[in-house]
């Protein structure tokens, strides 16, 4: 094999490095084994060579970008080579007039947006998962975030990908048309495949114009069902909200306790957070429509941002929600974050029953939801070393998944399957469909052996 | 094999039936061979049995729904069984509060919308290809239409599909969550696979709220580049138009000649047609923004619909465009309709060069574009029995495809590949990527042998 560069720059077997790439504090699951090496490719050819070597010796490859996934995606239960894209973190080409950008998988979406802001093009990339998530992993899990109700999920913004297949061959799925019906939409199956079909080494992403005006509205309700029903009525009416988030009474209390949004004190009842964007005229029209709709749901005191500062203050509660919850952990405690999505008409009942489960088992849990997408998170504090608490949190998560699937929903709205939800996937799609998926990874891309 | 029903109801070998299923007046390509039989399944089990028999005897299956495709999708160059879904044309379940609907593949989208209008739910299905297109074929080609600039393409509206694989096995890809990151997104590769991976026997589609208000604006420009640049500026600004269509000076003249929109007479210059929708406030805001933007492009006389009747009158020119062109054909002449899509910044040049090509070769051709998606059609009148004209039209189409691919676009924006554009697909994606696609159809779904 040709010498590509000094191997010391590319391969690390430092134990700390192995640990940092195979264990995650945030993840719902970790395994007892680590990769045998971490590879640091600098370009697509490096990745191809890594794949050829690993393919020859049947060694698993685990792609690694932001490491912020929650279901054990970076774990290496069969050892192998973790492949870290930290040196492939560039915005390669910005096509302002085509409204697209070519990027490497190690680029963080927040850094991409910072660079786009500096470019003066007035464009941005609208998918907003965890702040440290990077493009490679975002493609892997078909991630989304608060903007999904307006802008969709990762798969809606990937125009093409350059990928390395298991045997090291390199293909590019597509060119840069804004619309396409040519051949199989390989992007469609690659986005969300969690590194089990291919390794993405470059991607072209669509960009959106930054809205000229934004505003935020916060509306508390007396109880959870009423809040969810109000949200559903707004979606049902087709109001083009930019974000529509729910936080339950526990989460609102946690934010008050955390104090990060002081001096503001929030009503500790289920609350909807709205973001609106467009021209000032459109935003005001949206706000008027929402005001009319929620009037039927007996809302508490509605807070409307009157300027850009107030907008930031109101939205800060949503932004701080995870950190406020993390701050509540006592010594030895962890936070289990999980997510499901369901048909809109069943959202209120699935949230309520999941909350009841946690309460019945004595766990401290809060609910946050991207209710515009009928998608919610439960965040549960527990002590892993206490077998009863561990059993309880697993009961709650399994119950939530089973309930979501029971009403024709999914076990994972935006976090992917990883190792944490492998059993749930089979429960959700059934053995036959799972086999069709497995077949595609084993045979279509010759990849399954390498990564699971 | 079990007896499923009277075979006479299911299988036809009537020569007229075979011809009606294998030859299309609209298609750019037809082949000299027909299927040996037409099957008329009544349910998924019938389709599964048809597949098992065809799989056993290695007989191709060609799924048939609306028959409105333009690239020879219904042709049977290797014989086989055309499978017509005309008896599977029902809306199966409407979930009003979840905003989704379960349908069969033989249902026409216009009929679906008529049934939805009757339901009083205020919901509609926003993908609008040819009026006689049916759900099965729409999934096959990842079709779109004038609404795509606002609502996206078919793949954005398919929540799950029930499919029959080559060996007759039946799987359902997913349940009904509004958002999902569970396992491979099989929908993503099935939509647009043109019946080469599976046969769709049922689909759950997302629905959208019918906008409470709509308006139409028509703006003529002095020349094509200016019209396209004005359209690009509007997209670049993020104005949420509901449709943004271009018709060139030839097409505008054809509509005047056709007389279907009399007494109105249109300026015979490149013209943009806009549709706006939302609340009345949002629509008026959109119109104001567009007016401001186009002022920089020296537009002709802007026509704004003042009421619902005027809206219909203005939009009728766009609606009548294909029929007006078809009416111009003389005895023995045909219309070749083709479509490409390109990056936004290259649209004006690719349209102009394609028009010049047709003019140089003495062909009568008009251009219509979904310019919001940087996607345009060229409609060319020619006489198939005149070898020189046939050569010329092929030169124009090949030139257009080559030009689109040369600027990083696609050979087909919304009509699919069929038989007409097989060579163009390889030119577009390259041999390696094409092989990855072929591999997936041969091995993943064991289907390629049966249909190509």
Question: Can you give the pLDDT at residue A102?
Answer: 98
Beta strand extents in A51-207 (DSSP E only): 61-64, 81-84, 91-95, 100-103, 123-124, 158-164, 170-172, 199-206
- Cβ partners under 8 Å of residue A223, min gap 6: A269, A270
Q: Which residues of B touch A291 (CB under 8 A)?
A: none
CB contact under 8 A, B148 and A179: yes
- Cβ partners under 8 Å of residue A347, min gap 6: A228, A232, A369, A371, A374, A376
CB contact under 8 A, A189 and B188: yes
Q: At what angle do helices B431-439 and B422-429 cross, to 10 degrees?
A: 120
Residue of A nearest to B154 (CA): A181
- Residue B371: pLDDT band (50, 70, 90) is very high
Residue pLDDT, tens place only, A51-101: 999 999 999 999 999 999 999 999 999 999 999 999 999 999 999 999 999
User: Using CA atoms in the order A225, A231, A236, A237, what is the torsion angle rounded to 10 degrees?
Assistant: 130
Yes or no: say if A402 and B170 are a contact pair by the CB < 8 Å rule: no
- Cβ partners under 8 Å of residue B240, min gap 6: A240, A278, A282, B150, B278, B282, B286
Q: Which of residues 300-339 of B touch A (CB under 8 A)?
A: none
- Cβ partners under 8 Å of residue B168, min gap 6: B48, B49, B51, B52, B55
Q: Which residues of A touch B143 (CB under 8 A)?
A: 181
CB contact under 8 A, A189 and B184: yes
H or E segment to which residue B430 belongs: none
Question: Can you give the pLDDT at residue B260?
Answer: 84
Between A267 and B258, the higher pLDDT residue: A267
Q: Which residues of A touch B345 (CB under 8 A)?
A: 95, 97-98
- The bridge status of strand A213-220 relative to strand B208-209 is unpaired
Yes or no: say if A433 and B173 are a contact pair by the CB < 8 Å rule: yes
**How far is Cα B373 from Cα B396, in angstroms, rounded to an integer?**
22
Residue pLDDT, tens place only, B193-209: 999 889 999 999 999 99
Question: Can you give the pLDDT at residue B445?
Answer: 46
- Residue A449: pLDDT band (50, 70, 90) is very low
Q: What is the DSSP string of A173-205?
A: -----SS--SS--HHHHHTTSTTSS-EEEEEEE
Rg (CA), chain A: 22
Q: Which of residues 284-303 of A touch B (CB under 8 A)?
A: 284-286, 288-289
Of B155, B238, B439, the CB nearest to A188: B155
Q: Please tell me whether residue A354 adopts helix, strand or coil conformation.
A: helix
CB contact under 8 A, B153 and A181: yes
pLDDT mean across residues, chain B: 93
Residue pLDDT, tens place only, B53-84: 999 999 999 999 999 999 999 999 999 999 99
Q: Please tell me whether residue A37 adopts helix, strand or coil conformation.
A: strand
Mean pLDDT of all residues in B36-61: 95
H or E segment to which residue B433 belongs: helix B431-439
Q: Which of A162, A156, A210 lies closest to A179, judged by CA?
A: A156
User: Using CA atoms in the order A50, A53, A56, A62, what is the torsion angle rounded to 10 degrees?
Assistant: -40
Question: Can you give the pLDDT at residue A2?
Answer: 47
CB contact under 8 A, A240 and B374: no
The owner of tokens 């590194």 is: A195
Q: Does A171 touch chain B (CB under 8 A)?
A: yes
- Whether the per-residue pLDDT at B362 is higher than 60: the answer is yes
Give ∠ CA B132-B137-B139 in degrees, rounded to 5: 125
Q: Does B52 touch chain A (CB under 8 A)?
A: no
Q: Does A438 touch chain B (CB under 8 A)?
A: no
Of B179, B209, B433, the CB nearest to A341: B179
Question: Can you give the pLDDT at residue B320?
Answer: 87
A307: tokens are 């300027």
Q: Which residues of A touch B288 (CB under 8 A)?
A: 281
Yes or no: say if A343 and B95 are a contact pair by the CB < 8 Å rule: yes
Question: Can you give the pLDDT at residue A7?
Answer: 66
**How far is Cα A365 from Cα A396, in angstroms, rounded to an integer?**
10
- Whether the per-residue pLDDT at A183 is higher than 90: the answer is yes
For chain B, percent of residues with pLDDT exceeding 70: 95
> Residues B85, B86, B88, B93: is their CA dihedral positive or negative?
positive
CB contact under 8 A, B405 and A175: yes
The owner of tokens 């009026």 is: B131
ipTM of the complex model: 0.95
Of A141, A193, A238, the CB nearest to B211: A238
Q: Which residues of A touch B409 (CB under 8 A)?
A: 175-177
Of B99, B141, B177, the CB nearest to A341: B177
Q: Which residues of B touch A180 (CB under 8 A)?
A: 341, 410, 412-413
The owner of tokens 């359902």 is: B172
Q: Does A73 touch chain B (CB under 8 A)?
A: no
Q: Does A439 touch chain B (CB under 8 A)?
A: yes
- Whether the per-residue pLDDT at B443 is higher than 50: the answer is no
**How far is Cα A40 from Cα A10, in angstroms, rounded to an integer?**
5
- Whether the per-residue pLDDT at B452 is higher than 80: the answer is no
Question: Can you give the pLDDT at residue B262?
Answer: 86
Residue pLDDT, tens place only, B398-438: 999 999 999 999 999 999 999 899 999 999 999 999 988 88
Q: Which residues of B touch A377 (CB under 8 A)?
A: none
Q: Does A344 touch chain B (CB under 8 A)?
A: yes
**How far is Cα B37 from Cα A225, in angstroms, rounded to an integer?**
55
CB contact under 8 A, B181 and A153: yes
Phi-psi region of B168 (alpha: psi -120 to 50; beta: other; left: phi over 0): left
Residue pLDDT, tens place only, B102-140: 999 999 999 999 999 999 999 999 999 999 999 999 999
CB contact under 8 A, A172 and B433: yes
- Residue B450: pLDDT band (50, 70, 90) is very low
Mean pLDDT of all residues in A3-14: 75
- Whether the per-residue pLDDT at A177 is higher than 80: the answer is yes
A176: phi then psi, degrees, rounded to nearest 5: -125, 40
Of B181, B436, B440, the CB nearest to A414: B181
Residue pLDDT, tens place only, A225-274: 999 999 999 999 999 999 999 999 999 999 999 888 888 899 999 999 99
Residue pLDDT, tens place only, A10-49: 999 999 999 999 998 888 889 999 999 999 999 999 999 9
Of B286, B343, B421, the CB nearest to A95: B343
Yes or no: say if B90 and B84 are a contact pair by the CB < 8 Å rule: no
Mean pLDDT of all residues in A186-202: 94
- Whether the per-residue pLDDT at A452 is higher than 70: the answer is no
- Residue A9: pLDDT band (50, 70, 90) is confident
Distance from CA of A158 to the nearest CA of B (A): 12
Question: Can you give the pLDDT at residue A28?
Answer: 86
Question: Can you give the pLDDT at residue B451?
Answer: 40
Buried b (16+ CB within 10 A) or exposed e, A359-380: eebebbbbbbbbbbbbbbbbbb
Mean pLDDT of all residues in B14-20: 96
Distance from CA of B253 to the nearest CA of A (A): 28
Q: Which of A273, A282, A304 lies closest to A371, judged by CA?
A: A273
Q: Does A374 touch chain B (CB under 8 A)?
A: yes
Question: Can you give the pLDDT at residue B25?
Answer: 82
**How far is Cα A4 from Cα A342, in angstroms, rounded to an integer?**
49
Question: Can you give the pLDDT at residue A441?
Answer: 67
- Whether the per-residue pLDDT at A327 is higher than 50: the answer is yes
The owner of tokens 């006592």 is: A330
Q: Does B110 touch chain A (CB under 8 A)?
A: no
CB-count exposure of residue A185 (10 Å: 0-12, 13-18, 19+)? buried
Least confident of A121-135, A310-324, B151-165: A310-324
């Amino acid at each position: 094999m040709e010498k590509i560069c000094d191997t010391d720059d590319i391969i690390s077997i430092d134990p700390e490095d192995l640990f940092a790439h195979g264990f995650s504090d945030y993840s719902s699951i970790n395994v007892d084994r680590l990769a045998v090496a971490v590879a640091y490719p600098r370009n697509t050819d490096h990745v191809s060579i890594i794949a050829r070597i690993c393919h020859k010796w049947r060694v698993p490859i685990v792609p690694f970008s932001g490491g912020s996934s929650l279901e054990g995606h970076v774990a290496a239960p069969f050892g192998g080579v973790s492949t870290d894209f930290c040196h492939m973190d560039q915005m390669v080409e910005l096509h302002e007039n085509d409204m697209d950008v070519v990027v490497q998988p190690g680029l963080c979406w927040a850094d991409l947006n910072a660079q786009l802001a500096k470019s003066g093009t007035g464009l941005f990339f609208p998918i907003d998962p965890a702040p440290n998530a990077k493009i490679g992993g975002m493609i892997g899990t078909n991630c989304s975030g608060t903007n999904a109700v307006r802008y969709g999920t990762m798969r809606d913004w990937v125009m093409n990908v350059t990928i390395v297949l298991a045997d090291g061959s390199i293909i590019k799925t597509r060119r840069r048309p804004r619309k396409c019906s040519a051949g199989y939409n390989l992007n469609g199956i690659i986005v969300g495949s969690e590194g089990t079909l291919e390794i993405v080494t470059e991607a072209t992403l669509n960009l959106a114009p930054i809205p000229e005006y934004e505003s935020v509205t916060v509306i508390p309700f007396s109880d959870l069902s009423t809040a969810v029903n109000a949200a559903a009525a707004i979606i049902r009416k087709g109001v083009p909200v930019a974000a529509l988030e729910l936080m339950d009474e526990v989460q609102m209390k946690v934010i008050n306790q955390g104090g990060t949004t002081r001096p503001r004190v929030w009503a500790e009842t289920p609350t909807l957070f709205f973001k609106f964007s467009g021209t000032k005229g459109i935003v005001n029209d949206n706000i008027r429509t929402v005001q009319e709709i929620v009037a039927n749901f007996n809302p508490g005191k509605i807070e409307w941002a009157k300027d850009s500062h107030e907008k930031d203050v109101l939205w800060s509660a949503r932004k701080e929600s995870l950190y406020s919850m993390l701050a509540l952990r006592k010594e030895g405690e962890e936070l289990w974050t999980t997510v499901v999505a369901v048909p809109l008409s069943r959202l209120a009942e699935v949230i309520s029953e999941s909350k009841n489960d946690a309460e019945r088992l004595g766990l401290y849990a809060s609910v946050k939801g991207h209710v515009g997408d009928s998608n919610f998170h439960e965040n549960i504090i527990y002590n892993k070393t206490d077998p009863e608490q561990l059993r309880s949190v697993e009961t709650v998560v399994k119950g939530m998944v089973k309930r979501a699937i029971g009403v024709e929903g999914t076990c994972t709205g935006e976090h992917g399957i990883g190792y944490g939800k492998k059993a749930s996937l089979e429960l959700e799609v059934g053995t036959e469909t799972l086999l069709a998926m497995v077949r595609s990874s084993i045979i279509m891309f010759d990849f399954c052996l390498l990564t699971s």
